[in-house]
Amino acid sequence: MNTDEQALDNPGGGDGPDRRHRRPAGVDDKTVEALGALSKALETTERARGRLYDFHQLTGTADLQLDRAVHLLHEAGHPEWAEKVRTEILGRNVIPGYWTFQLIEAYDATYYRPFRDVEAGVVQQLAQGRPHLYEAEMKEERRTPGHPDHTARPPTPEV
């Protein structure tokens, strides 16, 4: 490894992004832009997946809260309504045959994992596996050189 390569690998030394976030030779602007768009789409999918987990947890919490509602309806002298809630709503599928955990499993298998795998393959093939090139270059364009809060890289850990 030559001195330039060592400087690129040293996260606290030199200026500009580390090697992992530098554009490989031969990668053009449109490719970097396309990789950025693909990364952004995957990030949006990550957010959608998080919402699916929100849905899963909220629905599960509501189902568990029905236990108290059933109990209170019994105590209040409404056993017929307590039984209706218990048999019609408690433990009910959210869509035919599915509880929310099954929706997450189907989403992961059918959409999320294939998307994540294709994105990783594109980055590997077109950018030597270097992620976030678009963002790294945007950071460089927006930094104020010499400003202590605009450094290119994290500080080198003290040994």
Query: Length of the chain in residues, anyone?
Result: 159
Mean pLDDT, rounded, for 10-21 = 71
Mean pLDDT, rounded, for 2-18 = 55
The overall pTM is greater than 0.85: no
Answer with the residue of higher pLDDT: 154 or 85: 85
pLDDT of residue 155: 84
Task: Give yes or no for a contact between 134 and 28, defined as CB atoms under 8 angstroms apart.
Answer: no
Mean pLDDT, rounded, for 37-49 = 98
pLDDT tens across 48-86, in order?
A: 999 999 999 999 999 999 999 999 999 999 999 999 999
Closest to 135 in 3D by CA, of 24, 12, 37: 37
pLDDT of residue 14: 59
CA distance 93 to 102: 10
Query: The tokens of 88 are what?
Result: 């019609």
Q: Residue 102 pLDDT > 70, yes or no?
A: yes
Mean pLDDT, rounded, for 11-22 = 75
Question: pLDDT-based confidence at 113, cuts 50/70/90?
Answer: very high
pLDDT of residue 6: 41
Mean pLDDT, rounded, for 120-132 = 97
Task: Give yes or no for a contact between 79 and 88, defined as CB atoms under 8 angstroms apart.
Answer: no
Quickly list H helices, 15-132: 29-75, 79-88, 100-107, 113-127
pLDDT of residue 156: 81
pLDDT of residue 65: 98
pLDDT of residue 31: 96
pLDDT of residue 15: 79
Q: What is the mean pLDDT of the chain?
A: 91
pLDDT of residue 17: 87
